[in-house]
Amino acid sequence: MSYPYLKTLGLIASLFLGLIALEAPADLDPERVKKMGVSPERLEKITAFVRRDIAANKLSGAVTLVARHGAPVHFAAAGNLGIADPRPMATDTLFRIYSMTKPVTTVAAMMLYEAGAFHLGDPVHRYLPEFAGIRILRDGKLVDPAGPITIEQLMTHTAGLSYGWHPTDPVDEAYRDADLINSTSSADFITRLSALPLRYEPGTRYHYSVATDVLGVLVERLSGMTLEAFFQTQIFEPLGMQDTFFNVPEDKLERLAANHYWQAEAHTIVPIPPDSAQPVTGVRVFSGGGGLISTAWDYWIFCEMLRQGGSYKGVRILGPKTVQFMTMDHLTPDIRNRGAEENPDSHLYPGQSFGLGFGIITEPGQTGVISSQGAYSWGGAANTKFWIDPQEDLIVILMTQVMGAPYGDALRFDMKVATYQALTGLGSPR
């Protein structure tokens, strides 16, 4: 099924493509930065902490970007493309952003929502009939759930789905046996997943899961396009995001940073073997939960669209009220807290809740790091991170490539400390 609005959006995109080129970084003149309420000297601590972690073999390199009032005030690269690749990191380096794909997928779904394609409370099986007979494992028996999975539950990770991370839970064992990551098509992925039992009753608790991958397939079914085509024609091209892909073009592969994992015994990072790395070419199954490759600059454009209430350089992707709705807390305290102790790896940080596709800071004093109420964010498995802070009119992006590091949260928290300590006041737009 396709919707007429897609043709309209495509026409708008074609009109603006000639006007939007890949931009150079904004002026980082120290006097201009000061007027934005930011200390240029104190901003240097961002690069200082990155270089410290490179020297400690925790990173090969990183790109960091801070923007305020719609303009970058810091944009820097440090280190190398990989621990085994001595080429210097550059600000246009490509990174696997993994779960930072999720906000993009949720934005795509909300574009269809605005077009009248579905209601948030609609059962998923209305559009993905494979889920009509899904059951839940309760006390060792397969039984019908009390209610169906809804589309809003996919967006809030309350659908009762899982990721297969728990080592002994029988549902998670079934996830691992189903080998979802090697699905041959989006239809095959849905067929495999819908044959598995739910781990929890839909709508009863937050549990991080493959829900956004299901949401990506929903976008495909409703639009009649692959997720790759929808992203490209309806989001990336209209916004001028020329460096975000499921499949990296051959002429841009040399800009891709190497991915690494933490080797605890040697206390250093090591390259991930090519046969174990996320594929970046030849991809035919498009993961809405974690498949994109991007740059710090491209992802800033996406964030800036959100900061501006759904538009960027005259191209509107979503309505302001839709963005506001997506970035407010959608979890009751019971749903947010239920199961936190038994499933810490699939839960939220203290002081954080969840909206539609974003983590939301609800209690800054509980987060353990400088934060603002209402800031929204998400990160990726290779220690990428972004957040948008409406109170401070701030966007921050950290791009690295290290999987499974026990110090991963510390890297992201360091970025917060280094950013917020550089603010001197609210400042004023350009």
List of E strands, 61-167 = 61-68, 71-82, 85-88, 95-96, 136-138, 141-143
Work out the average pLDDT over 300-325: 98
As a whole number of angstroms, the distance between CA 4 and CA 7 comes to 6
Q: Which CATH number describes the domain made up of 121-223?
A: 1.20.58.710
Helices (H), ranges, 259-350: 296-307, 320-326, 333-337
pLDDT at 342: 81
Both structure tokens of 33: 């930065």
What average pLDDT does this structure show over 76-92? 98
> Where residue 236 falls among pLDDT bands split at 50, 70, 90?
very high
pLDDT of residue 344: 81
* Confidence band, pLDDT 50/70/90 cuts, at residue 341: confident
Q: What is the pLDDT of residue 109?
A: 99
Q: Is the pTM of this model over 0.75?
A: yes
Dist CA 277 CA 262 (whole Å): 14
- Tell me the average pLDDT across 5-28: 43
The alpha carbon of residue 108 and the mean position of all alpha carbons in its chain are separated, in whole angstroms, by 13
Rounded CA separation 385/6 (Å):
31
Percentage of the chain lying above the pLDDT 70 cut: 94
Rounded to an integer, what distance in angstroms lies between the CA atom of residue 128 and that of residue 178? 19
404: DSSP letter: S
Q: Of the candidates 190, 184, 177, which has an alpha carbon nearest to the alpha carbon of residue 130?
A: 190
Residue 55 pLDDT greater than 70, yes or no: yes
Q: How far is CA 325 from CA 150, 355, 374, in A?
A: 17, 8, 12
Domain ranges within the chain, ordered by starting residue = 4-109+224-420, 121-223
- Whole-number pLDDT of residue 26: 54
Region 35-39: mean pLDDT is 97
Q: Is the dihedral of CA 354, 363, 340, 200 positive or negative?
A: negative
Percentage of the residues of the chain whose pLDDT score is greater than 90: 88
pLDDT for residue 20: 34
Residue 293 has pLDDT above 60, yes or no: yes
Assigned CATH class of 4-109+224-420 = alpha beta
- 8: pLDDT strictly greater than 90: no
Ranges of H-type helices in 195-277: 211-223, 227-230, 237-239
- Residues 134/128, Cβ–Cβ less than 8 Å: no
pLDDT average, residue stretch 258-283: 93
**pLDDT bracket for residue 25 (50, 70, 90):** low
pLDDT at 407 over 90: no
Q: Mean of the per-residue pLDDT values for the chain?
A: 93
- pLDDT value at residue 215: 98
Q: Give residue-wise pLDDT tens across range 91-147.
A: 999 999 999 999 999 999 999 999 999 999 999 999 999 999 999 999 999 999 999
Q: Please check the confidence at residue 19 and state whether its pLDDT lies above 50.
A: no
